[in-house]
Structure 1
Amino acid sequence: MNRTALQPAVKWGDFSPNASEYGQRPPYSDVVLSALARTVTERFGPIRLAELGAGTGNLLRSFKEAEIGGFAVEPNRDMRAVARKLAPNDLRFEWVEGTAEQSNLPPASVNWVLLGNAYQFVDPLAMFAEAHRILVPGGFLTLIWNVRHFRKDPLQCSIEEMVKRLAGSLKRTGISVAEIMDNLDTGERFLEVLYAEASHKRIFTPDRFLATWKAGHDVPSQVSADMWRRIIKETERMIPDQPAIETMWLTRAWTLQAQ
């Protein structure tokens, strides 16, 4: 038996192999981020935030407001390098080597903590304890996802169906977000105060659209390297040969407040 064939294409939680592609994922919904920012501003005035598991900075680059600042906490060196390359002149956020469970930030140093597409990779109770520690009293914590909106996007839906045909039943983070949140246990440190979602359209070149699929983590962490290469090859074949590809995405955000 070929033991290599039984090993997943990537190790769960290791983004080093596809850090560059991950940086090509789309920004989050302007509508959702603006609504959340207003909520924080109404309570605290100027926003001082920390994103735990900031990756390649996709979420932080989605904020257009010049006055928002704070920290980007990320353990992976390759992800931090891509983030700096994509936004070399954005000095709003200080990049810090740390994790969601141990951010290396001072106590009560921010009024808003975010996790963007990252909750599934953390130790929840340790993360909630750390978020509570670095938040000022009454500060906010937002768990937010930016996922493919399959119901409104025939192309992406057809690619997803292809993945299911080739790889069988897989656990897909984008589909199981509601289930993840239904089982939330903050250790009585937070109360849920706000839910927001919005769909948004993004236009890609074929190469960048393919990169968003190569950036996937839940599929390659469950299939062999050979199967992952086959999936990517088939995805590339399905992408239309046109300069601009219209895609639909869904940003979903649960915001909690520290007790």
Structure 2
Amino acid sequence: MPSADATTRFSDRVRNYVLYRPGYPSAVLDVLRQETGLAPSHAIADVGSGTGISARLFLDAGNTVHAVEPNADMRAAAEAALGGDPRFHSVAGAAEATTLPDASVDYVVAAQAYHWFDPPAVRREWLRILRPGGWMVLLWNARRTDTTPFLRGYEALLHAHGTDYASVNHENVTPERIAQALGADFGRRDVPSEQVFDYEGLKGRLLSSSYAPNEGHPGHKPMLEALERLFREHAENGNVRFEYDTQIYWGRG
């Protein structure tokens, strides 16, 4: 099971998470249609669904989404944003213990979350809730770290000021760890995406991250001072650009 810290560490960051975290490009749906046959009739279990960013992607595609999230504050944000859609179902559960019935969904999706999970436990649970022939999908918006001077500076800032950035970075997830959930014969494709921020947006994006020290922490002020310097140095027309590779992994249950 995930640690208590993994379950609760975003509770004080919900507003910034809602406002500044990237969504997922529609190209994700195109890939899943091509590679797995995703159709609007399919039911999705979105595990570790957070504030509903990935749930929105699948709702927009016509799917029914069971959004499974253990953090009450993040779950409430998703309910506020998406609760008016009759195809959205909020579930208080964990990736390893979803509470969903046996063979109840066609896809299990974990977006920006799998690195917090216990792989053997989630595979058992996901196989339990999947219908025969169902699919398991992992998504990440992987921020590029060295394609521009700004992105190189931002990465250096995280290493200098993040509380535990190196240890919780999802890039630590190896192909072997992915195979523990998806099986050895998993597929992968990447599609590009981006965000453009003014300074307030950049600050909100940083503070949405669990490793960024919040107000009251001794590292908070020095981090923001460094962020302001970085922004002044690299902003063009008042903005900086985050570039992402949206990573899509899939495996049959």
TM-score, normalised via structure 2 length: 0.82
Residues 159 and 53 (structure 1), Cα distance of their counterparts in 2 relative to 1, 3 Å cut? same
Q: Answer yes or no: is the 8 Å Cα contact 2:70–2:92 preserved in 1.
A: yes
Shift of the 62–234 alpha-carbon distance from structure 1 to 2, 3 Å rule, reads: farther
CA distance change for structure 1 residues 208 and 37 in 2, over 3 Å: closer, same or farther?
Answer: farther
Q: Which one of the candidate residues 57, 60, 67 is aligned to 1:62?
A: 57
- Counterpart check, 1:230 vs 2:225: no
Q: Give 1:1-259 correspondences, 5 Å limit.
A: 11-14=5-8, 15-23=10-18, 24-41=20-37, 46-63=41-58, 65-166=60-161, 170-171=166-167, 173-177=169-173, 179=174, 181-186=175-180, 190-218=183-211, 220=213, 225-240=217-232, 244-258=239-253
Distance 1:229 1:127 in 2: 38
Q: Report how far residue 74 of structure 1 moved.
A: 0.4
- The one-letter code of the counterpart of 1:183 is R
Structure 2 residues without counterparts, runs of 5 or longer:
none
Q: Indicate if the aligned counterparts of 1:191 and 1:257 stay in contact, CA closer than 8 A.
A: no
Query: Identity over the aligned pairs, expressed in percent?
Result: 26
In 2, distance between residues paired with 1:68 and 1:167? 37
Structure 1 residues 115 and 232: CA distance shift in structure 2, 3 A: farther
Partner Cα separation in structure 2 for residue 176 and residue 190 of structure 1: 18
For structure 1, the 5+ residue unaligned runs are: 1-9
**CA-to-aligned-CA distance 1:13-40 (integer Å, 9 cap, x gap):** 4211112212220112322332114434
Q: CA deviation at 1:109?
A: 0.7
**C-alpha separation in 2, matches of 1:251 and 1:208:** 20
Deviates more, 1:101-110 or 1:141-150: 141-150
Residues of 2 paired with 1:100 and 1:64: CA distance?
Answer: 20
Task: Assess if the C-alpha contact under 8 Å between 2:59 and 2:88 holds in 1.
Answer: no
- Is the 1:73–1:97 contact (alpha carbons within 8 Å) kept by the matching residues of 2? yes
SS of the counterpart of 2:100? Answer: coil
Deviation at 1:243, TM superposition (A): 5.2
Which 10-residue stretch deviates more, 236-245 or 15-24? 236-245
**CA pair 118-167 structure 1, distance change in 2 beyond 3 A:** closer
Which residue in 2 is equivalent to 1:5? Answer: none
Aligned residues: 243
Two-structure CA RMSD over aligned residues (Å): 2.9
CA contact (8 A) 2:7 2:70 kept: no
Please tell me whether the aligned partners of residues 44 and 107 of structure 2 are also in contact (alpha carbons under 8 angstroms): yes
Structure 2 letter corresponding to 1:75: P
Q: Could you tell me whether the CA contact under 8 Å between 2:44 and 2:65 is conserved in 1?
A: yes
Bigger drift between 116-125 and 162-171 goes to 162-171
Secondary structure at 1:120 match in 2: helix
SS at match of 1:151: coil
TM-score (norm 1): 0.81
